[in-house]
Structure 1
Amino acid sequence: MSRRIAAGVLLVSLELLAGCATFRTLNAGKPDTPLVYSGTRLDWYAMHGGCCPLDRFGAEPPRYPAVDLPASVLLDTLFLPFTLAAELGVALNVSGGL
């Protein structure tokens, strides 16, 4: 039974990440859109009836922004050093791999 629960949690997590406002806004690539806490701001904007999220954030909000909000707050907080650097125009020159 625990494998079924783990598989269910994994599927729900992947579904939420696919519709996560943080990933949507950071991948939008639209110039002059907010980067710092962008997913949280998009969720909040959608929950309060904002008219034009695509124009303001470069991305559509998730179907259920209230459900997405906690994940967006967490991810936006984790990405905060990078989004602050991007907003300030600082090049971090970070590379990955082995």
Structure 2
Amino acid sequence: MMTIEAMHELLLENARKPDRTLYDDYERAILMHIDGVLQDMPPDDHDLVLPFNYHERMAYIKSRPYQYHSIIQLKGIHEEFTKKVASYRIRKNRS
């Protein structure tokens, strides 16, 4: 199984005509990661870890799949989410 980072690199290499199956796998892997983490958190804390404008950005991505900007947005969402979750966990462990 390919990592999210490896999928991103392959998609960027062929950004003019990305592999649609790979793009679908990339998007699914990111969304599954986000959903998995959110399931382990209280619902009231979801807004603390979801990236800024998450729902609007996902609507943009869904309306323009397979495009370069959607690939970039997905990576940005994944990176922001990962950082916010790490920060959230550090704060929770301190309290």
TM-score scaled by length of structure 2: 0.32
User: Does 1 or 2 have the higher relative contact order (CA < 8 Å, sep 6+)?
Assistant: 2
Higher Cα Rg, which structure: 1
TM-score scaled by length of structure 1: 0.31
Relative to its length, the structure with more helix (as a share) is 2
